[in-house]
């Protein structure tokens, strides 16, 4: 056996196994594609060697394989939210292919995208996986690590955890779980440990850039998610507006219903600065300037009201429109028992909003106990009146006639459904877009009606309640018990200042799991140069050598979704996942790691189950949702369809016109925002675009979008995706490229005051002039000179968002300049 | 023509160019790296994903290609070893890797360039309409995994089949029928 073979033979005893180190910052993507990879393996005895090209090895094994194909299932628990059941083809202990798994009750719903299929290559690529516990030997970011045992790793990490606690208190220790895997044990184990330890955990939606949607939803609907089942659009909508959501790439499970709707005759309108994959199946593409979405919706609201097409009955009965607002302080007028009040024209008095038989007006001005009051709708109408067609056109870049026709067709469609997407909320004051577009649907009378709504995320109906039953579906009590302590939840928007200024808590120890934090958070230079140096201990638990892992002090090998026991509760289904293949190397599940750490800090009695035991303990046999359930049979199929589930009937969200807002109504008037003069939907311009000095220096608005290649960063290095794309590109309109001497395929340099990145120009008529776009999810390992689009982005705290909840990263509110490299 | 002929209909107005079909097929057939049994083209463009037209009046039509399982397959006629054969039972054109010498004549002969030579394996590879799956009562993977349900598979030799009726009602056409090989894949 040659030295090289010895070094890459995983059957070697641990003592002779190779030591790994990462050669960071030396190899370009070009070198990488040639199959060398950026991890080199040198033997502990001092021999240098490079591992064999992984794909060739896999192909050889496939060709020689003789074994029977068996099937095993997994839950695709990445954050695209489709949650597909993956049917894995396993032969000789290896995953060889993936196909859509059929979900009980919904044979129409089986889905597996190209990412979930190709992902098995990344799962089984030993050169990309973290195979063993590793300890940093060089400078942070140098990529130099040595292999250590699990015992040494956990002993040392526990010691450093206790040191940080001793020095700054338990909240200076934090556990950061992102959305890299949303199955229960994978995503919740570290958070549960934080609870047991009294440590800090992070409210992650802000920094990741999804929180604007939640804030906007919460303001108007009272809940952060709410969606019509796409089958409702398929059956009932005459127009479907897909607004800032490239669902054809990013949420493929609902695409089929949209194309069927179109063939039935529904008009599909797609709103995005970029002609995305979703635009290819739309009847109309409305390109819009990034951040202009709330202005477009306000312009349409104004047009609808001016043309007397607004749904007065809905606005009076089910929205806050008839509730009286005090002129003196902008608050809702409150009566006895804090009741919200409306004007009763019959008695000419203010009466509680729930008074029977009152036809409460949405217009007018009334005196109540010496205070002038107006119905909330007046405030909306007056604010919307500022958005004439001409002004809306200036703010959005959408021509006047397009806005007017769209407003008319939308209000004529009866019903029209809007699918909102996070693309439109990655701007400063991000809550405006969702809140305003949802208010447009309300004004048109489409909220809570079949084929209507303004939805966020894909909706499937859950379970029918069983009369008289009190048994919960799942027995989570023990898992929820964190003993004497609980977790200290901190806004993720404050994580940089926690590290640097210890405000509101210090961040001295951090454990990242299911998270490529550095790649998915804004302003990477700031993280590398200011944030990380102020954190004493960084632990990364991950299946792969992510960019974040390179900055860790300890890197722990985590199992992927094909190698562990886990559960995902997604009524009317529950995914039950068992390992399809042996964990690679010495990888362990997140739950196993937290159990090992717990044992070392005196919390072992709260972590007394194996992952399999936890999963088995959760389904409640007393619940009718699990009538006839046999765990071992269900896990063979990867999921259980609850007999109480509703499968055939599409969900119409808010059909009951019940809202969990303070007023109990659809609430476009948000009392909490009065001090910002944003009590009703308002367009706030993009932060960097509206700074004339900045816009002069960096004239292009840049956005990053999610495309067919990535959910987030988990799908880089899947060779089968080479058919689709091999590198990140910068989409730019010819009118922006030509004056800069840039031709299609040229390497360009994109830059601003924060940093730069180089990539190939993709010159296209399919993007708005003045706007550039590159794909999210790519990492420096795959970029020219190890650049990153995150060197261009920024974290700027929004006072209004920090007041209401927390700042949402404005990844699509960035100005840049581009030149030929 | 074979007794029975399987065929496929691809509705390009549904295709979003994601290539789930091509990637899934590559994995299922355990192709070597960078060997694919189908490919995507963008109508009117040299390179995929480029739009046609001028902003904002643009459009894009994707066209996924695979073996046409022709009525008179040129690959079979020209194969020097007899590895390439058309099955009478279902009209599927298959290459036997144990006989194939990887000479590439089939690739040259096919008007659509459909077969590929897997250099590392030393033989040709091609679409088999997922025959093992079809025989087990399942759909070809490219059909059942298409998120837009752009593909329909079935017996084009049966004029009452769903696919035959759709081909007729949608006015679907073969690619380059003038080549005279009688393709079994239709596009609309």
A129 DSSP β-pair partners? A544
Chain A residue closest to B22 (CA)? A723
A 92-121: CB under 8 A from B = 96-100, 110-114, 117-118, 120-121
Nearest to B23 among A117, A764, A767 (CB): A117
Contact A720 B26 (CB under 8 A): yes
C-alpha distance from residue A676 to each of A333, A670, A702 (Å): 19, 11, 27
What is the percentage of chain B residues whose pLDDT exceeds 70?
99
The total number of residues written for chain B in this structure: 188
What's the alpha-carbon Rg for chain B, to the nearest Å?
16
A773 touches chain B (CB under 8 A): no
Which pLDDT value is given to residue A56?
Answer: 41
A 121-150: CB under 8 A from B = 121
Distance from CA of B18 to the nearest CA of A (A): 6
Contact B27 A117 (CB under 8 A): yes
* CA A459-A462-A464 angle, 5° bins: 145
* Secondary structure of A388-455 in HEC code, one letter for each residue: CHHHHHHHHCCCHHHHHHHHHHHHHHCCEEEEECHHHHCCCCCHHHHHHHHHHHHHCCCCCCCCCCEE
Contact B16 A281 (CB under 8 A): yes
Q: In A, which residues are within 8 Å of B24 by CB distance?
A: 97-99, 112, 114, 117
Which pLDDT value is given to residue B2?
Answer: 76
DSSP string, A588-631: B-HHHHHHHHHHHTT-GGG--S-HHHHHHHSB-TTSGGGTT--H
Nearest to A39 by CA among A55, A30, A52: A52
* Secondary structure of A574-585 in HEC code, one letter for each residue: EEEECCCCCCCC
Query: How far apart (Å, rounded) are the C-alpha atoms in residues A92 and A309?
Result: 65
Enter the tokens of residue A603. Answer: 């919390």
Q: Is B137 exposed, middle or buried (0-12, 13-18, 19+ CB in 10 A)?
A: exposed
For A325, what's the count of Cα atoms within 13 Å in the CB-facing half-sphere?
26
Q: In A, which residues are within 8 Å of B188 by CB distance?
A: none
Distance from CA of A271 to the nearest CA of B (A): 12
Write down the ipTM of this complex. 0.97
The pLDDT of residue B149 is above 80: yes
* CA A676-A678-A684 angle, 5° bins: 95
Which pLDDT value is given to residue A66?
Answer: 59
Query: How far apart (Å, rounded) are the C-alpha atoms in residues A611 and B153?
Result: 42
Structure confidence by residue, pLDDT tens digits, A70-100:
999 999 998 888 999 999 999 999 999 999 9
pTM: 0.93
Q: In A, which residues are within 8 Å of B23 by CB distance?
A: 114, 117-118, 720-721, 723-724
B176 touches chain A (CB under 8 A): no
Which pLDDT value is given to residue A1?
Answer: 33
Task: Return the residue in B10, B123, B145 with the most chain A beta carbons within 10 A, the one to mutate for interface testing.
Answer: B145
Which pLDDT value is given to residue B124?
Answer: 98
Stretch (H or E) spanning A572: none
Task: Return the residue in B48, B49, B100, B119 with the most chain A beta carbons within 10 A, the one to mutate for interface testing.
Answer: B49
Contact B27 A285 (CB under 8 A): no
A730 touches chain B (CB under 8 A): no
Contact A721 B141 (CB under 8 A): no
Q: In A, which residues are within 8 Å of B32 by CB distance?
A: 55-56, 59
Enter the tokens of residue A151. Answer: 């015992």
Chain B residue closest to A62 (CA)? B30
Nearest to B51 among A55, A100, A765 (CB): A765
A59 touches chain B (CB under 8 A): yes
Could you say which DSSP state residue A48 is in?
Answer: E
Cβ atoms within 10 Å, residue A409: 16
Chain A residue closest to B31 (CA)? A59
Query: A568, A619 in Cβ contact below 8 A?
Result: no
A769 touches chain B (CB under 8 A): yes
List all residues 6 or more positions away from A214 whose beta carbon is below 8 Å from its beta carbon: A205, A224, A225, A805
B88 touches chain A (CB under 8 A): no
Nearest to A252 among B53, B61, B147 (CB): B147
Enter the tokens of residue A109. Answer: 């719903």
Query: B62, B41 in Cβ contact below 8 A?
Result: yes
Instruction: Give the residue ranges of chain A where pLDDT is below 70.
Output: 1-66, 459-461
Nearest to B27 among A97, A279, A280 (CB): A97
Dihedral Cα A648, A654, A657, A658, nearest 10 deg: 110
* Secondary-structure breakdown of chain A: helix, strand, coil percentages, each rounded to the nearest 5: 35, 20, 45
Query: A44, A17 in Cβ contact below 8 A?
Result: yes
Number of A/B CB contacts below 8 angstroms equals: 140
Residue-wise over A674-709: b if at least 16 C-beta within 10 A, else e?
eebebbbbbbbbbbbbeeeeebeebebbbbbbbbbb
Enter the tokens of residue A702. Answer: 């840049």
Give the pairing type, strands A416-420 and A454-456: parallel
């Amino acid at each position: 056996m040659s030295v090289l073979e010895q070094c890459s033979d995983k059957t070697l005893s641990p003592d002779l196994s190779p030591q790994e180190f990462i050669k960071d910052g030396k190899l370009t993507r070009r070198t990488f594609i040639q199959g060398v990879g950026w991890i080199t393996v040198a033997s502990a005895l001092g021999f240098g060697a490079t591992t064999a090209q992984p794909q060739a090895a896999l192909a050889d094994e496939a060709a020689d394989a003789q074994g029977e194909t068996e099937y095993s299932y997994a839950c695709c628990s990445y954050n695209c939210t489709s949650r597909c059941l993956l049917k894995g083809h396993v032969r000789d202990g290896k995953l060889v292919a993936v196909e859509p798994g059929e979900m009980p009750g919904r044979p129409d719903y089986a889905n597996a995208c190209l990412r979930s299929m190709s992902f098995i290559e990344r799962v089984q690529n030993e050169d990309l996986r973290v195979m063993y516990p590793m300890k940093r030997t060089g400078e942070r970011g140098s990529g130099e690590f040595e292999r250590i045992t699990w015992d040494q790793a956990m002993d040392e990490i526990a010691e450093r955890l206790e040191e940080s606690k001793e020095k700054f208190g338990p909240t200076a220790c934090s556990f950061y779980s992102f959305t890299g895997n949303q199955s229960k044990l994978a995503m919740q184990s570290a958070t549960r440990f934080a609870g047991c330890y009294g440590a800090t955990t992070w409210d992650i939606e802000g920094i990741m850039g999804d929180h604007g949607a939640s804030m906007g939803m919460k303001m108007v609907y009272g809940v952060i998610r709410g969606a019509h089942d796409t089958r409702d659009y398929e059956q009932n909508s005459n127009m479907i507006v897909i607004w800032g959501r490239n669902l054809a790439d990013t949420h493929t499970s609902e695409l089929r219903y949209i194309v069927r709707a179109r063939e039935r005759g529904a008009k599909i309108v797609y709103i995005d600065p970029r002609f995305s994959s979703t635009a290819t199946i739309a009847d109309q593409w409305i390109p819009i300037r990034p951040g202009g979405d709330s202005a477009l919706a306000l312009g349409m609201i104004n047009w609808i009201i001016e043309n007397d097409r607004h749904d007065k009955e809905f606005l009076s009965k089910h929205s806050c429109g008839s509730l009286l607002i005090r002129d003196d302080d902008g608050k809702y007028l409150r009566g006895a028992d804090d009741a919200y009040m409306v004007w009763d024209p019959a008695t000419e008095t203010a009466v509680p909003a729930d008074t029977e038989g009152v036809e409460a007006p949405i217009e007018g001005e009334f005196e109540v106990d010496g205070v002038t009051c107006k119905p909330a709708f007046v405030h909306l109408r007056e604010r919307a009146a500022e958005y004439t067609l001409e002004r809306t056109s200036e703010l959005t870049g959408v021509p006047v006639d397009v806005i007017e026709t769209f407003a008319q067709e939308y209000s004529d469609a009866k019903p029209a459904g809007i699918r909102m997407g996070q693309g439109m909320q990655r701007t400063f004051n991000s809550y405006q877009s969702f809140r305003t577009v949802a208010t447009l649907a309300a004004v048109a009378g489409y909220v809570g009606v079949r084929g209507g709504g303004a939805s966020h995320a894909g909706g499937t109906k859950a379970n029918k309640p069983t009369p008289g039953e009190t048994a919960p579906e799942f027995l989570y009590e023990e898992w929820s018990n964190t003993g004497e302590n609980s977790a200290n939840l901190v806004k993720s928007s404050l994580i940089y200042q926690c590290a640097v200024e210890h405000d509101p808590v210090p961040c001295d120890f951090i454990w990242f799991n299911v998270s490529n934090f550095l790649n998915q958070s804004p302003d990477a230079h700031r993280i590398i140069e200011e944030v990380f140096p102020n954190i004493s201990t960084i632990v990364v638990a991950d299946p792969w050598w992510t960019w974040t892992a390179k900055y860790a002090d300890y890197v722990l090998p985590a199992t992927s979704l094909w190698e562990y026991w886990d559960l995902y509760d997604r009524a009317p289904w529950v995914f039950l996942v068992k390992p399809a293949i042996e964990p690679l190397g010495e990888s362990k599940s997140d739950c196993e790691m937290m159990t090992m750490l717990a044992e070392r800090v005196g919390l072992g009695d709260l972590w007394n189950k194996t992952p399999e035991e936890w999963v088995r303990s959760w389904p409640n046999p007393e619940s009718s949702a699990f009538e006839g359930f046999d765990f071992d049979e269900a896990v063979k199929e990867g999921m259980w369809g609850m007999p109480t589930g509703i499968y055939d009937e599409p969900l119409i969200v808010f059909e009951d016109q019940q809202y969990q807002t303070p007023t109990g109504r659809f609430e476009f008037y948000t009392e909490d925002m009065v001090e910002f003069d944003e009590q009703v939907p308002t367009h706030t311009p993009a932060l960097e675009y509206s700074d004339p000095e900045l816009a002069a220096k960096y004239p292009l608005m840049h956005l990053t979008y999610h495309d067919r290649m990535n959910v987030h960063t988990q799908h880089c290095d899947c060779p089968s995706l080479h058919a689709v794309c091999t590198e990140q590109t910068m989409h730019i309109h010819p009118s922006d490229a030509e004056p800069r001497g840039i031709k299609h395929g040229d390497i360009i340099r994109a830059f601003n005051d924060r940093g730069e990145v180089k990539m190939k120009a993709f010159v296209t008529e399919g993007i708005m002039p003045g706007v550039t776009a590159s794909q999210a999810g790519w990492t420096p390992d795959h970029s020219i000179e190890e650049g990153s689009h995150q060197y261009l982005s920024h974290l700027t705290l929004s006072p209004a968002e920090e007041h209401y909840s927390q700042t949402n990263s404005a990844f699509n509110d960035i100005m840049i300049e581009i030149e030929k490299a | 023509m074979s007794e029975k002929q399987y065929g496929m209909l691809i509705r390009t107005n549904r295709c979003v160019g994601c290539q789930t079909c091509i990637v899934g097929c590559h994995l299922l057939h355990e192709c070597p790296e960078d060997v694919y049994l189908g490919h995507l083209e963008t109508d009117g463009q040299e390179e995929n994903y480029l739009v046609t037209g001028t902003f904002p009046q643009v459009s894009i039509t994707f066209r996924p290609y695979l073996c046409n399982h022709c009525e008179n397959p040129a690959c079979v006629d020209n194969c020097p070893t007899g590895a390439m054969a058309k099955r009478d039972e279902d009209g599927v054109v298959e290459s036997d890797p144990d006989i194939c010498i990887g000479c590439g004549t089939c690739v040259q002969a096919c008007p659509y360039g459909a077969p590929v030579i897997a250099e590392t394996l030393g033989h040709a590879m091609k679409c088999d309409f997922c025959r093992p799956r079809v025989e087990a009562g399942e759909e070809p993977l490219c059909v059942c995994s298409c998120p837009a349900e752009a593909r329909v598979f079935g017996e084009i030799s049966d004029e009452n089949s769903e696919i035959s009726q759709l081909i007729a009602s949608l006015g679907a056409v073969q690619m380059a029928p003038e080549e005279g090989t009688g393709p079994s894949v239709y596009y609309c």
